[in-house]
Structure 1
Amino acid sequence: MVDLKLGKLPDRTPVKLSITITPDLQAALQAYATVYAATYGVEEPVAELIPAMLSAFLESDRNFARSREAMLRGQK
């Protein structure tokens, strides 16, 4: 078997998630989408921005990353 630099790609099957949010959060998300469009010149629907926003939040939470890594090590 060849040892490739790129490992096997993870599962990328989309998962649909339905949530209920407050009107204040909806307004903030819409405002974010407006600022995003002004910044990048591309209008993106809020529903398209949310997954990237959540990923960025989770990636920036170092305590979460450490805890998650410890949990994964404990499962092996």
Structure 2
Amino acid sequence: MTKLKLGALSDDKPVKLTVELPAPVHRDLVAYAKLLERQTGQPIANPAKLIGPMVERFIATDRGFAKLRRANTSSPPGKGE
């Protein structure tokens, strides 16, 4: 079976956001939740709970973001902000 990028969800204290998703993205999110449920055995009552881990994974694997972030944090205060 193909392994999904997300694994079991952690139980952290969330920050509430309101977002609007295009209908096709929402359908894909629901389908992803169903597949992840099957793969991990962990029930996912609310597919919206996947958005945080998905964004986190996206940011963690974005090399351009990591490079710019390192460059920005290594510059002296007042530079590159």
Structure exhibiting the larger radius of gyration computed from Cα positions: 1
| Long gaps (5+) in structure 1 | 1-11
CA separation of 1:41 and 1:57: change in aligned 2, threshold 3 A: same
Q: How many residues align?
A: 65
| Long gaps (5+) in structure 2 | 1-11
Question: 59-68 or 40-49: which moved more?
Answer: 40-49
Higher relative contact order (CA 8 A, sep 6+): 2
Give 1:26 deviation, angstroms. Answer: 0.3
Question: 28-37 or 46-55: which moved more?
Answer: 46-55
Q: Which amino acid aligns with 1:51?
A: G
Give 1:13 deviation, angstroms. Answer: 6.9
Distance 2:63 2:31 in 1: 27
Of Structure 1 and Structure 2, the greater helix share is in 1
Residues 37, 43 of structure 2: 8 Å contact kept = yes
RMSD: 1.9
Distance 1:38 1:59 in 2: 25
Q: Match of 1:49?
A: 50
Runs (4+) off by over 6 Å: none
Q: Match of 1:37?
A: 37
Q: Percent identity?
A: 31
TM-score, normalised relative to structure 1: 0.73
